Chain A
Amino acid sequence: MSHSEHERDKNYPDIAPGYERPEGHDAEEGIGTYLTGLGLATLLTAVSFFIARTTLVWQPSIPVALAVLAIAQMGVHLVFFLQITTGPDNVNNVMALFFGVLIVLLLLGGSLFIMAHLNQNMMPMDQIMQMQR
Chain B
Amino acid sequence: MSGIEATATPNSFGEVRGAGDLEHAAGRLMSKRIIVGYGFWIFLLSDIVMFSAFFATYAVLVGQTAGGPSGRELFDLRNTAIETACLLLSSFTCGIANIGAQAHRGSWFYGAMTATFILGAAFIGLEVQEFAGLVARGAGPTRSAFLSAFFTLVGCHGLHVTAGLLWLLTMMAQVFAKGYRADILRRMLCFSLFWHALDIIWVALFTMVYLMGAAS
Question: Which A residues lie at the B interface, using CB under 8 A?
Answer: 1, 5-6, 9-10, 13-20, 22-27, 30-31, 34, 37-38, 41-42, 45, 48-49, 51-53, 62-63, 66-67, 69-70, 73-74, 77-78, 81-82, 89, 92-93, 96-97, 99-100, 103-104, 107-108, 110-112, 115
Chain B residues near A9 (CB-CB < 8 A) = 22-23, 26
Complex: chain B residue closest to A92, CB-CB: B38
A45 with B31: in contact, given A15-B1, A66-B207, A96-B42 (CB under 8 Å)?
A: no
User: Of B12-20, B118-126, B136-144, which stretch is located at the interface?
Assistant: B12-20
Chain B residues near A70 (CB-CB < 8 A) = 203-204, 207-208
**B interface, by DSSP: helix, strand, loop or mixed?**
helix
**A interface, by DSSP: helix, strand, loop or mixed?**
helix
With beta carbons under 8 angstroms apart, the residue of B9, B46, B60, B88 that contacts A18 is B9
A103/B52 in contact, CB under 8 A: yes
Distance to closest chain A CB from B157 (angstroms): 15
Quick one: CB contact mask for B179-207 with A, threshold 8 Å, 1 for yes? 01010011000000100110110011011
Chain A residues near B196 (CB-CB < 8 A) = 77, 81-82
B49/A107 in contact, CB under 8 A: yes
Chain B residues near A78 (CB-CB < 8 A) = 200
Distance to closest chain B CB from A4 (angstroms): 12
Chain B residues near A49 (CB-CB < 8 A) = 77, 81, 84, 211
B37/A18 in contact, CB under 8 A: no
With beta carbons under 8 angstroms apart, the residue of A19, A25, A63, A93 that contacts B9 is A19
B19/A108 in contact, CB under 8 A: no
Quick one: CB contact mask for B76-111 with A, threshold 8 Å, 1 for yes? 010001001100110110011001101111001000
Quick one: CB contact mask for B1-42 with A, threshold 8 Å, 1 for yes? 100011001011010100100110111111111100110011
A34/B96 in contact, CB under 8 A: yes
B102/A24 in contact, CB under 8 A: yes
B56 CB–A CB distance under 8 Å: yes
Distance to closest chain B CB from A10 (angstroms): 6
Distance to closest chain A CB from B119 (angstroms): 13
What 16 additional pairs, Cβ within 8 angstroms, besides A1-B27, A77-B203? A1-B26, A5-B31, A9-B23, A18-B30, A18-B31, A18-B32, A25-B102, A31-B99, A41-B88, A49-B77, A49-B81, A49-B211, A70-B207, A103-B49, A111-B56, A111-B60
In the assembly, what is the distance between CA of A1 and CA of B27, in Å?
A: 6
In the assembly, what is the distance between CA of A53 and CA of B92, in Å?
A: 27
A66/B41 in contact, CB under 8 A: no
B115 CB–A CB distance under 8 Å: no
A-B contact pairs, 16 of them (CB 8 A): A16-B6, A16-B12, A20-B182, A24-B102, A24-B104, A25-B102, A27-B99, A66-B215, A67-B207, A82-B193, A82-B200, A100-B45, A104-B48, A107-B53, A108-B52, A108-B59
Chain A residues near B85 (CB-CB < 8 A) = 45
